[in-house]
Structure 1
């Protein structure tokens, strides 16, 4: 399962609260996205993960892009801004989805009150109006729903890259300015060494008894590691744990 499919699956699996003033709050965030586009001349995409819809707003930067002059602002019946994706270099687009999946898990692991403190920034190459690739700054914010544990909205901003950034992809804490490089090295911290050993053996079809014998630990310890893996990866069973661990390059 590729990262985009995994994101779709995880977004749709979230348990959104039935009673919540979504419409009223959505209007506020739509206005915020519109203002980002106006004030920063950015292309702003606000995606509603609950209803599978997006709202796109074009600032002056869109005139630099290949199809920017033809685009109209408004609602798109998908959380994926495919017309914009067509402008992104294929290698960068695949990496973008993977980084967003990693960032989704990073944010979900944070205390609820601090989830809004972080955003993702990365470098992309996008086609301009002369069909050449230009460097672009991409920023992404997940917006938590205030009444439950879900991540409700995603805001993506595309704008010119004013200066090079030290890493292709960074998580930035907007409160204190601290940065964290988002890559394989960071992902490896999700599971402990022992948990990865257990998960590798699960993926090979080993039973808990066999895992205990292979690693010289008790079955009780294996069970504890199994539960820890499910909790950290936020999945319901070992099959899903193996799939997502492969997506994140953990095993």
Structure 2
């Protein structure tokens, strides 16, 4: 299963509340995205995970990428900005999606009041108007919903890489300036120690009975761990769970 499919599962399985001042809140962040594009000459994409839609705004950097001066801004019927993805180097695009999955898990484990303090910064290569790949700074912010515990919006900004960043991809605490390299980020809290142990034995080919005997627990407990693992990793079977866990370096 592709990383982008796992992101879809993660995003759309959130328990979005239908209550609260959602429309007014969304308009406020649309204005923020538009202002980023205007003030930084960036390309700004605000993705709405509840409605599976995006709002895109073009600054001057879009012309450097050959996207034209008078592109139509506004709502797209998907959270995935395919027009932009086509310009990203294929090797960087697959890494970008995995970084976003890791960042999503990082944010879900932060207290809600702290989530607005973090953003993801990464280096990408994007094709410009002459067909050459140029270094680009990609920044991403997950925005908590106004009345629930979801990460309802994601704001992506694309602009020229004026100053290098340490590592290919980092998480930055915007208030303190503290930097965490995403490749070194501990994802182990996604699963408990016992769940990682069970999944590691599943990956080695052991049956539930074999796992129960190895860990001296009941088959019922093993099956309960299996269901928890599938739910936490948002996958449908053990094979997919092992694949996701390896990419997140859980096993």
CA deviation profile, 1:189-237 (whole Å, cap 9, x unmatched): 6446654221122343521x5324224x444996699389649936598
Change (3 A) 1:70 1:95: farther
Structure 1 gap ranges (5+): none
Confirm or deny: 8 A CA contact 2:10 2:234 kept in the other structure.
no
Instruction: Tell me, in whole angstroms, the C-alpha distance in 2 between the residues paired with 1:155 and 1:139.
Output: 8
Instruction: Tell me, in whole angstroms, the C-alpha distance in 1 between the residues paired with 2:15 and 2:220.
Output: 31
Instruction: Tell me, in whole angstroms, the C-alpha distance in 2 between the residues paired with 1:131 and 1:70.
Output: 20
Confirm or deny: 8 A CA contact 1:123 1:138 kept in the other structure.
yes
Partner of 2:225: 226
CA deviation profile, 1:167-201 (whole Å, cap 9, x unmatched): 00001111211111112663356446654221122
- The offset of 1:99, in angstroms, is 0.4
Change (3 A) 1:16 1:191: closer
Partner of 1:123: 123
Partner of 2:7: 7
Query: Greater shift after overlay, 61-70 or 108-117?
Result: 61-70
Partner of 1:148: 148
Partner of 2:59: 59
Change (3 A) 1:14 1:193: closer
- The offset of 1:23, in angstroms, is 1.3
Structure 2 gap ranges (5+): none
Change (3 A) 1:58 1:180: same
Confirm or deny: 8 A CA contact 2:211 2:222 kept in the other structure.
no
Q: TM-score, normalised by structure 1?
A: 0.88
Instruction: Tell me, in whole angstroms, the C-alpha distance in 2 between the residues paired with 1:224 and 1:21.
Output: 41
Instruction: Tell me, in whole angstroms, the C-alpha distance in 1 between the residues paired with 2:178 and 2:219.
Output: 39
Change (3 A) 1:80 1:235: closer
Confirm or deny: 8 A CA contact 1:184 1:249 kept in the other structure.
no
Partner of 1:36: 36
Partner of 2:86: 86
Instruction: Tell me, in whole angstroms, the C-alpha distance in 1 between the residues paired with 2:224 and 2:119.
Output: 30
Confirm or deny: 8 A CA contact 1:43 1:57 kept in the other structure.
yes
- The offset of 1:111, in angstroms, is 1.1
Confirm or deny: 8 A CA contact 2:105 2:190 kept in the other structure.
no
Confirm or deny: 8 A CA contact 2:230 2:236 kept in the other structure.
no
- The offset of 1:15, in angstroms, is 1.2
CA RMSD for the aligned pairs? Answer: 2.8
Q: TM-score, normalised by structure 2?
A: 0.88
